Every structure is written in C-alpha cells, then in structure tokens.
C-alpha cells in the first residue's frame, strides 16, 4: 500500500444552528426580529470538534462511536453533502456514498428506469449508464423483474438494486454506512466479495458500523469518536477494545 492520502481532514469542526425559532414561521420571526436573531446565533450545537485524520490510498478506515457521536456527519462531510464550519477537507477521486442506497428511487418507475435515474444522480452520464446497465442488472440478480415497477419489489430487492448501481460508478472512494447488513446471506457474501475486489484495486473505504467484529475484520485503522471528538485512532483491535470498555463503564453508571 502506498501512503498517498486520498482524504484529508484538517482541524474540521461542524456546528449547527438550532432551528427551533425559524420553524415557527415568518410572522413570529418578523415580530420578534432582534431577539430571534440573537437566539439564532447563540444556540449552536457542536457536532464535530477539531477532527483531523487522513485516509490513504487503498486503505479501509473505520469510524466507531455511540449514536450521535458524529460518525454520519463525518461521512456526509467527505461526501460533500455538508460543508464544515471550520477547517479543511480535501478529497481526491470519485466518491460513491453507500449512505443511501437507491437515491431518488421512485416506486412507480420500473427497475430499469430507476437504474438510469439513480445512476445519473450518482454522477454517471447516459452513455456510461448504458455501458454499465447489463452488468448492474446481472449483479443485482433481478433480470426477471427489471421491467416491473419498483413498488412490486421486496425491500431486499430494492436494496440489491441500489447497491448494484452504487458499486458500478467506478468509485475511488467508498463510504459505507451500515449497509452490509442487507439482503440474504448469498447476496451479503457477494457484497463482501465486491468490497474485497475494490480494495485489491486500490479503492479506499470509510466504514461506519456497530458491528465490531466486522470492523476488526475489514479495517486497517479505526477511529473512536466521542461526542464529536476523536479520542483514539489506530489498530482496530485496540480501538475496538477501548470502545467496548467505554460502553461498559457507561452502562454501570446509574
């Protein structure tokens, strides 16, 4: 593995305004303008604080932590869906976010129509979708249903289709958020096989998962996130162990 970094987070912080006041509407806002603006700026929620790490070419990087610790926020920042409040993020290469499989899927469109729609939203041109189409359908194992509307699919079939499109956009970086737990055993095996194939081809991955054994098996390095800060980073075994200890301490508290 060469050590060229493909993702760099440099002192990244992300905070949100709490929008409780705005949702009460324009009238309320205009009537209480000065105090409302003051409230807007005062109430901030800090999701991530001073996060720095690098992901190298071909590396599988895991992020663990409790619910609400900021894992998904990091993935969204790397996917460039969110903008950091401060700090810098550099990402080089096509990112395939397996954050939401089947983005834009519509139940009334056929599987084939949804492949085109989803592929376009993930960044493919019509020509590229056409070139990949056969292979997408084949991978999803939905040949017999591809001209049926999506609403007739089971949820497992929908995920298979979404996953199949997502892995066919030739990503250099793959963001994976708990999606490997879908489909039947046979399809899961196929997914893991595809992941390994990606890794051999030098695709970098960022994983978020609560499945610790999977994290240890798949990742080169793992970072532990606690309330928006990285408290440990390095060897999967050690970081996972520390996380489990942390959970135990937490659960013995009243």
Say how many C-beta atoms besides its own lie within 10 A of residue 248's C-beta.
9
Stretch that binds other proteins, among 1-9, 107-115, 208-216, 230-238 (CB under 8 A): 107-115
Stretch that binds other proteins, among 2-10, 56-64, 118-126, 199-207 (CB under 8 A): 118-126
Would you count residue 27 as binding other proteins (CB under 8 A)?
yes
Cβ(175)–Cβ(97) below 8 Å: yes
**Which among 146, 141, 239 has a CA at the least distance from the CA of 191?**
141
Would you count residue 81 as binding other proteins (CB under 8 A)?
yes
- Residue choice 12, 64, 99, 167 for contact with other proteins (CB under 8 A): 99
Cβ(230)–Cβ(62) below 8 Å: no
Length, in residues, of the chain: 254
Cβ nearer to other proteins, comparing 162 with 236: 162
- Residue choice 39, 50, 79, 170 for contact with other proteins (CB under 8 A): 79
Beta bridge partners of 181: none
Would you count residue 40 as binding other proteins (CB under 8 A)?
no
- Residue choice 20, 125, 188, 201 for contact with other proteins (CB under 8 A): 125
Stretch that binds other proteins, among 19-27, 140-148, 178-186, 190-198 (CB under 8 A): 19-27
Cβ nearer to other proteins, comparing 85 with 214: 85
Q: Rounded to the nearest whole angstrom, what is the least distance from the CB of residue 66 to other proteins in the complex?
A: 21
- Helix (DSSP H) and strand (DSSP E) numbers for the chain: 9, 9
The angle formed by the CA atoms of residues 130, 193 and 153, to the nearest 5 degrees, is 55
Find where tokens 């409790």 sit: 66
Q: Strand order in 5-17's β-sheet?
A: 44-56, 5-17, 86-91
Report the Cα 16 to chain-centroid distance in Å.
Answer: 19
Q: Rounded to the nearest whole angstrom, what is the least distance from the CB of residue 109 to other proteins in the complex?
A: 7
- Residue choice 55, 60, 95, 232 for contact with other proteins (CB under 8 A): 95
Would you count residue 10 as binding other proteins (CB under 8 A)?
no
**Dihedral sign for Cα atoms in the order 180, 181, 184, 189:** positive
Interface with other proteins by CB under 8 A: which residues? 16, 19, 22-23, 25-27, 29, 76, 79-83, 92, 95, 97, 99-100, 103-104, 106, 108-109, 113, 116-117, 120-127
């Amino acid at each position: 593995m060469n050590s060229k970094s493909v993702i760099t987070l440099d002192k990244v912080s992300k905070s949100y305004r709490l929008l409780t006041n705005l949702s009460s509407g324009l009238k309320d806002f205009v009537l209480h303008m000065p105090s409302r603006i003051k409230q807007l700026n005062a109430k901030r929620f800090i999701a991530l604080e001073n996060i720095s790490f690098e992901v190298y070419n071909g590396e599988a990087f895991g992020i663990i932590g409790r619910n609400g610790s900021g894992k998904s926020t990091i993935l969204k920042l790397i996917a460039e869906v969110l903008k950091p409040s401060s700090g810098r993020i550099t990402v080089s290469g096509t990112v395939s976010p397996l954050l939401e499989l089947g983005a834009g899927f519509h139940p009334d469109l056929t599987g084939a129509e949804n492949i085109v729609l989803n592929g376009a939203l993930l960044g493919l041109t019509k020509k590229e979708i056409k070139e990949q189409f056969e292979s997408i359908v084949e991978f999803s194992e939905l040949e017999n249903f591809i001209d049926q509307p999506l609403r007739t699919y089971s949820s497992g079939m929908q995920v298979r289709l979404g996953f199949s499109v997502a892995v066919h956009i030739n990503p250099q970086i793959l963001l994976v958020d708990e999606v490997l737990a879908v489909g039947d055993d046979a399809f899961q095996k196929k997914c893991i096989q595809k992941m390994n194939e990606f890794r051999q081809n030098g695709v970098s991955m960022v994983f978020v998962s609560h499945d610790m054994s999977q994290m240890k098996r798949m990742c080169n390095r793992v970072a532990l996130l606690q309330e928006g800060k990285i408290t440990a980073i390095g060897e999967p075994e050690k970081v996972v162990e520390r996380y489990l200890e942390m959970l135990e301490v937490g659960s013995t508290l009243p």
